[in-house]
Structure 1
Amino acid sequence: MRDKIWELAKTRNITLPPEAPDRFEMYYRQLVEANRQVNLTRITEPAEVMIKHFLDSLEVLSACREFKGPLLDVGTGAGLPGIPLKIACPQISLTLLDSSKKRVSFLKDLVSALELENVTVIHGRAEDYARQDDYREQFPFVVSRAVARLNVLAELCLPFVSQNGYFVAYKGPEGATELQEAQNALSQLGGAPGKEWRYQLPENMGERSLLFLRKLETTPAKYPRKAGLPEKRPL
């Protein structure tokens, strides 16, 4: 795995630091071991984890040369895409947010095992943390992968994004359709559509897209609504 992730990253014009392959190898071992007790992923085969999880998480580095931190990963689950991005860009500060105590416990152990610095792991809901001054509009980049449809995600994530920053949603081939659905949400939340980056994963493992949403105006204070409402009544 360690050599293959290095070569595959090169095909996407992504340069990894020397220690990255070993960290990805350890990440895989920790993930598979913890997955026996905690529901982290249905994908456990080495090649699939490397491509569908790790390489896919790194794609934002191929799409955007202005990528920088501090970075927030909302609904991070098993640490995706945040941990792979931190491994590839060790200089950035990273905050991981998830609502599951068991996943947060795994992430804290993982960050320690990988010896990653400037990583904060938070247990809680986006609806609550987005109202706190220490988090609201404090991140030039916010990412989220496989959490919810875009009209819901926009309300959960855009309040965290700083002025002229980006929320990047990791999506499948249906990204353009979700973007159309989210137009009303974006107009109310101070966001605007940026580019859509479409790509194919290697070895016929699927089509994906990244949706870049630009934060143009301050998100009104009433958003996000209280926990559960964005999913029940999308904007």
Structure 2
Amino acid sequence: MAYDLKVLEEGCKAYKIALSEVQKEQFIRYYELLVEWNKVMNLTGITEFQEVLTKHFLDSLSIVKAVDMTKLHTCIDVGTGAGFPGIPLKIAFPHLQITLLDSLKKRLNFLDTVIEELKLEGICTVHGRAEDGARKAEHREQYDLSVSRAVSRLASLCELCMPYVKEGGYFISYKSGKAQEELTEASKAIFVLGGKLDKTEAFQLFGTDMERTLVVVEKKKKTPKQYPRKAGTPAKEPIL
């Protein structure tokens, strides 16, 4: 089947990302696997090819508006779901060492298949809750970058994601719409967990009229040992 990649190519050009033919084929195969597996499990409500290109692939890659990915080496995608943004970032930036963390084993089975089919190296899946993974020495404060496209409130996400970031690294949250209210709400959590708001990048998602915001938090000092709290607590009782 012939796929029209024009919007992906133009979007990547706007993001100053050069895709090889191999990388384009990887995005196509990822899409095919996503649709195939989505028939038997709930991975995404978006399955039309052009929509996946914009709302999943280009949205995932939009992080380049906030940070120079070529200068980062290790990244963890917390609550990766169907692999966004982690897999698109790995395809576009093969040098990245990426960890995909999710609490649902079925989703990780899908991602393991994607990794194998796309012949991706330097990427692994980890099964578990974010609160538990961040207490393990092999993950705690080991990453240049922690990312999340999860729909949780920013105050909760900070507690789930920031313990993974090493000092001098970044936690970047992908938010739909404007994030000012959530930012105000999360200001205490950011400080308590050892971070400082670096910047926010508000923009329109390429090829759409959808508003997006990237919230960039720099890790200034180690996260206190008591965080994250036990599973479920950050969502129920965020640091406010």
TM-score interval, smaller chain:
over 0.9
The answer as to 2:86 corresponding to 1:82 is yes
Report the AA paired with residue 22 of structure 1.
E
- Give the Cα–Cα distance (whole angstroms) in 2 for the partners of residues 186 and 89 of structure 1: 28
The number of aligned residues is 235
- Give the Cα–Cα distance (whole angstroms) in 2 for the partners of residues 167 and 20 of structure 1: 26
The answer as to 2:65 corresponding to 1:36 is no
Structure 1 unaligned blocks of 5 or more: none
1:100 shift after superposition: 0.5
Match in the other structure for 2:8: 5
Please identify, of 63-72 and 89-98, the stretch whose mean Cα deviation from structure 2 is larger.
63-72
Runs of 4+ in 1 over 3 A off after TM superposition: 1-4
The answer as to 2:124 corresponding to 1:130 is no
Match in the other structure for 1:94: 98
Superimposed CA distance per residue, residues 146-168 of structure 1 (whole angstroms, 9 cap, x where no aligned partner) = 34110000000000000010000
- Give the Cα–Cα distance (whole angstroms) in 2 for the partners of residues 172 and 43 of structure 1: 16
3-state SS in 2 of match to 1:208: strand
- Give the Cα–Cα distance (whole angstroms) in 1 for the partners of residues 54 and 5 of structure 2: 12
1:52 shift after superposition: 0.5
Structure 2 unaligned blocks of 5 or more: none
Query: Could you tell me whether the CA contact under 8 Å between 2:58 and 2:206 is conserved in 1?
Result: no
Report the AA paired with residue 111 of structure 2.
L
- Give the Cα–Cα distance (whole angstroms) in 1 for the partners of residues 18 and 61 of structure 2: 10
- Give the Cα–Cα distance (whole angstroms) in 2 for the partners of residues 87 and 105 of structure 1: 19
Q: 1:49 aligns with which of 45, 49, 52?
A: 52
Q: 2:61 aligns with which of 58, 64, 89?
A: 58
Q: 1:44 to 1:205 in 2, by over 3 A?
A: farther
- Give the Cα–Cα distance (whole angstroms) in 2 for the partners of residues 114 and 215 of structure 1: 33
Report the AA paired with residue 73 of structure 1.
D
- Give the Cα–Cα distance (whole angstroms) in 2 for the partners of residues 23 and 214 of structure 1: 31
Match in the other structure for 2:114: 110
Q: 1:209 aligns with which of 203, 210, 213?
A: 213
Please identify, of 203-212 and 225-234, the stretch whose mean Cα deviation from structure 2 is larger.
203-212
The answer as to 2:170 corresponding to 1:150 is no
Please identify, of 28-37 and 202-211, the stretch whose mean Cα deviation from structure 2 is larger.
202-211
- 1:131-210 to 2 correspondences below 5 Å: 131-210=135-214
Query: Could you tell me whether the CA contact under 8 Å between 1:75 and 1:147 is conserved in 2?
Result: no
Match in the other structure for 1:73: 77
Superimposed CA distance per residue, residues 66-117 of structure 1 (whole angstroms, 9 cap, x where no aligned partner) = 5512110000000000000000001111100000011011000111011000
- Give the Cα–Cα distance (whole angstroms) in 1 for the partners of residues 8 and 208 of structure 2: 16
Report the AA paired with residue 81 of structure 1.
P
- Give the Cα–Cα distance (whole angstroms) in 2 for the partners of residues 24 and 157 of structure 1: 26
Query: Could you tell me whether the CA contact under 8 Å between 1:176 and 1:196 is conserved in 2?
Result: no
- Give the Cα–Cα distance (whole angstroms) in 2 for the partners of residues 202 and 59 of structure 1: 9
3-state SS in 1 of match to 2:169: strand
1:205 shift after superposition: 4.4
3-state SS in 2 of match to 1:94: strand
Identity over the aligned pairs, expressed in percent?
47
Report the AA paired with residue 197 of structure 1.
E
TM-score normalized by structure 2? 0.94
1:182 shift after superposition: 0.2
Please identify, of 171-180 and 26-35, the stretch whose mean Cα deviation from structure 2 is larger.
171-180
- Give the Cα–Cα distance (whole angstroms) in 2 for the partners of residues 61 and 204 of structure 1: 18
TM-score normalized by structure 1? 0.96
